[in-house]
């Protein structure tokens, strides 16, 4: 089989040697930069923020909650997980180039007492107190964007908020003032619908296994809802990593956006010039450059 | 089943009445604007540019070629279609948040004589002579972006080019100076990888049925290639609409970006403020607002 050069982009990355100690003609690749990052440049996802979604077919999706960006929704989602709200639920909506949505998808099913919501509209938060590593390129939607931990964020005046990028997780809600309770969640699976920013509480980012959601058949009902119950994709159980035995539980770490290696990686993302890229873009979109994440031993 | 309000966005659009002749309190929705566009605001895809990909399972993907943006590649692709190059081929690569790729995927299979390529690197073209309706919002990658026919484009100084948006089709290529011949194509299925702009010949846009490609299992090989031949998704045949009987063949039309209705639609896309959207974005990304397309009688 011919491996066309669009593929070759990454193959070259994989095949290239790590940055040598002595100067060499070959510049480091994105993969080289990530591999060479020092241990202190990585930060582990808090087990209290690491959510494991086990689907009925045995596949697993891992996501990180963002308590700094939507603390009350995150706390409620932890409560719902521990009350087994999601266990036996389903993925019941997949709309092409938009979102995948899961939970119970049933109006008649009430959340456990104290977890019903609605919660305060955590659509943004004070910018003060949130460390943001700025992205040094124009953004269409906000005057300033960047990264806070593994999450993409935007800042305007004294407010900050997470942004709708591929794999970012939000809280489905009814019309105002019903802001949802976190019992029905969605993740972005197409071009980032940034126009939703500040209209919905965003609570996390898918870290691993998203292909088990993104490759599902699109729903043929309005807005991508599955029309027949048997089309739903069953969720066996949802767990917080913190509630598993520390010995051997899954764990992930992200490359800290404030690290030197991230800065180098981001610069190369925006200025690819190699055997394949003849013309560097000179910029990169916020949603094209989420901080790298990798699994680590628990 | 509860229909959460994220869904409601579009339900409201569908349910709303067409704009009344007398003033009403309810502002028109995106769907209203499209429905109310006058016949002269729509333009039909030339049957010479309309490609129909029939997959083995009976599903069909339709795409429009862009001869104004990559004339030699488009001409070669038409030639390859008529030489049955794609018939019996396959989708052989699906990389999450990146691309789906199809063709023969076989180095040993040679294109018919005269269609082998490589072709000139049609990565951009003179801006002169290309009508572009500008998008009046900041773009991360280019000083000026907008729409030319149904296609998203960028302009810098005296050059113009199509941009990598969701559903845009490009020509897989080897390392320079091998620029491909159009016999292996890909389409974007995640966050728009605009950093590829001007590094590859973009030749069209998927108009319909993209979900038959985007919901395919992701390949587990490097770069999303399917590792086993039986994972490939067989292509029965690829046809140009022009080669089908004019009676009853598929046809599509796009809302012309230079029309008043498109301007109104674009403005609302950027400034949603309704029962759901509490805070209008005030802007929209080039790739979030491709000109609406709809099927029409052939």
User: Are A29 and A174 within one domain?
Assistant: no
Contact A166 B198 (CB under 8 A): no
User: Are A92 and A31 within one domain?
Assistant: no
Contact B140 A139 (CB under 8 A): yes
Interface of B with A in 76-135 (CB under 8 A): 92-94, 96-97, 99, 101, 105-107, 123
pLDDT-derived band at B12 (thresholds 50, 70, 90) equals very low
Q: Find the mean pLDDT for residues A160-172.
A: 98
User: Are A56 and A189 within one domain?
Assistant: yes
Q: Does residue A1 surpass a pLDDT of 50?
A: no
B218 interfacial to chain A (CB closer than 8 Å): yes
How high is the pLDDT of residue A3?
39
Within a domain: residue B51?
Answer: yes
A227 interfacial to chain B (CB closer than 8 Å): no
CATH of the domain at B72: 2.40.100.10
From CA B152, how far away is CA B146, in angstroms rounded?
6
Within a domain: residue B172?
Answer: yes
CB-CB neighbors (< 8 A) of B175 in chain A: 5, 8, 275-276
Q: Does residue B48 surpass a pLDDT of 60?
A: yes
Within a domain: residue A49?
Answer: yes
Q: Which of A2, A276, A283 sits opposite B141 (nearest CB)?
A: A283
How high is the pLDDT of residue A175?
79
CB-CB neighbors (< 8 A) of B165 in chain A: 191
User: Are A260 and A170 within one domain?
Assistant: no
User: Are A83 and A203 within one domain?
Assistant: yes
Number of domains in chain A: 2
Mean pLDDT of chain B, nearest integer: 91
pLDDT-derived band at A15 (thresholds 50, 70, 90) equals very low
- Which residue, B169, B32, B215, B269, is CA-closest to A220? B215
Q: Does residue A112 surpass a pLDDT of 60?
A: yes
User: Are A100 and A167 within one domain?
Assistant: yes
Within a domain: residue A147?
Answer: yes
Q: Does residue A226 surpass a pLDDT of 50?
A: yes
SS3 B72: helix
User: Are A174 and A102 within one domain?
Assistant: yes
Phi-psi region of A186 (alpha: psi -120 to 50; beta: other; left: phi over 0): beta
From CA A89, how far away is CA A106, in angstroms rounded?
9
User: Are A113 and A141 within one domain?
Assistant: yes
User: Are A139 and A277 within one domain?
Assistant: no
SS3 B34: helix
For residue A247, what are its two tokens? 């010995």
DSSP E strand boundaries for chain B: 42-44, 50-55, 60-65, 90-95, 99-103, 125-126, 133-134, 144-148, 151-156, 159-162, 168-171, 185-188, 202-208, 233-240, 251-255, 293-296
For residue B88, what are its two tokens? 């019996």
- Give tens-digit pLDDT for B167-198: 999 999 887 767 789 999 999 999 999 999 99
B288 interfacial to chain A (CB closer than 8 Å): yes
User: Are A185 and A206 within one domain?
Assistant: yes
Strand partners, B234: B90
Within a domain: residue A296?
Answer: no
User: Are A129 and A110 within one domain?
Assistant: yes
- Which residue, A27, A21, A3, A37, is CA-closest to A272? A27
- How many CB pairs below 8 Å do chains A and B form together? 216
- Give tens-digit pLDDT for A86-104: 999 999 999 999 999 999 9
Counting Cα atoms < 13 Å in the Cβ hemisphere of A157 gives: 1
CB-CB neighbors (< 8 A) of B182 in chain A: none
CB-CB neighbors (< 8 A) of A198 in chain B: 279
Contact B217 A215 (CB under 8 A): yes
Closest CA in chain A for residue B272: A195
Within a domain: residue B177?
Answer: yes
pLDDT-derived band at A144 (thresholds 50, 70, 90) equals very high
DSSP string of A217-270, one letter each residue? PPP-SGGGB-SSGGGSEEEEEEEEGGGS-TTT--EEEEE-TTSHHHHHHHHHHH
Interface of A with B in 3-42 (CB under 8 A): 3-11, 14
From CA A171, how far away is CA A109, in angstroms rounded?
17
A249 interfacial to chain B (CB closer than 8 Å): no
- Which residue, A196, A136, A188, is CA-closest to A165? A188
pLDDT-derived band at B19 (thresholds 50, 70, 90) equals very low
- A12-16, A110-114, A259-263, B241-245: which range is least confident on average? A12-16
For residue A201, what are its two tokens? 């509480």
Chain B: closest CA distance from residue A174 (Å)? 4
- Give tens-digit pLDDT for B101-120: 999 998 889 999 999 988 99
How high is the pLDDT of residue B218?
98
B161 interfacial to chain A (CB closer than 8 Å): no
Under a CB-based contact definition with an 8 Å cutoff, are residues B61 and B208 in contact? Answer: yes
How high is the pLDDT of residue A275?
87
From CA B229, how far away is CA B168, in angstroms rounded?
26
User: Are A196 and A110 within one domain?
Assistant: yes
How high is the pLDDT of residue A120?
92
Within a domain: residue A50?
Answer: yes
Q: Which of B9, B99, B199 sits opposite A278 (nearest CB)?
A: B199
Within a domain: residue A211?
Answer: yes
Contact B194 A269 (CB under 8 A): no
Contact B222 A288 (CB under 8 A): no
Taking the model in full, what pTM does it have? Answer: 0.92
Burial of B126 (C-beta count, 10 Å sphere; 0-12/13-18/19+) = exposed
Q: Which domain holds residue A81?
A: 44-251
A228 contacts: CB under 8 Å, gap ≥ 6: none
pLDDT: is A63 or A107 the higher one? A63
Q: Put the strands of the sheet holding A293-296 in their side by side order.
A: A42-44, A251-255, A293-296
Contact A97 B1 (CB under 8 A): no
Q: Does residue A153 surpass a pLDDT of 90?
A: yes
How high is the pLDDT of residue A108?
86
Closest CA in chain B for residue A106: B1
Mean pLDDT of chain A, nearest integer: 91
Q: Which of B4, B176, B288 sits opposite A172 (nearest CB)?
A: B4
CB-CB neighbors (< 8 A) of B106 in chain A: 1-2
Contact A97 B8 (CB under 8 A): no
How high is the pLDDT of residue A9?
33
- Which residue, B166, B135, B151, is CA-closest to B70? B151
SS3 A139: coil
pLDDT-derived band at A22 (thresholds 50, 70, 90) equals low
How high is the pLDDT of residue B21?
53
């Amino acid at each position: 089989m011919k491996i066309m050069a669009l593929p070759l982009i990454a193959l070259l990355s994989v095949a290239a040697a790590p940055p040598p100690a002595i100067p060499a003609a070959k510049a480091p690749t994105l993969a080289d930069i990530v591999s060479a990052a020092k241990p202190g440049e990585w930060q582990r996802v808090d087990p209290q923020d690491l959510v494991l979604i086990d689907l009925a077919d045995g596949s697993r999706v891992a996501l990180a909650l963002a308590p700094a960006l939507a603390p009350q929704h995150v706390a409620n989602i932890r409560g719902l997980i521990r009350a087994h709200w999601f266990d036996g639920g389903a993925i019941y909506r997949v709309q092409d180039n938009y979102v995948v949505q899961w939970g119970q998808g049933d109006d008649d099913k009430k959340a456990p007492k104290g977890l019903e919501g609605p919660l305060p509209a955590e659509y943004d938060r004070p910018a003060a107190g949130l460390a943001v590593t700025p992205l040094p390129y124009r953004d269409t939607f906000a005057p300033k964007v960047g990264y806070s931990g593994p999450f993409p964020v935007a800042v305007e005046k004294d407010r900050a908020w997470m942004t709708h990028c591929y794999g970012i997780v939000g809280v489905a809600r009814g019309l105002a003032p019903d802001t949802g309770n976190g019992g029905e969640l969605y993740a972005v699976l197409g071009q980032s619908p940034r126009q939703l920013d500040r209209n919905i509480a965003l609570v996390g980012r898918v870290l691993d296994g998203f292909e088990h959601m993104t490759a599902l058949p699109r729903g043929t009902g309005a807005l991508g809802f599955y029309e027949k119950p048997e089309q739903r994709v069953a969720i066996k159980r949802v767990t917080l990593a913190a509630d598993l035995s520390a010995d051997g539980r899954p764990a992930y770490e992200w490359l800290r956006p404030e690290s030197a290696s991230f800065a180098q990686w981001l610069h190369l993302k925006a200025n690819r010039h190699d055997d394949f890229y003849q013309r560097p873009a000179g910029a990169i979109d916020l949603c094209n450059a989420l901080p790298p994440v990798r699994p680590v031993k628990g």
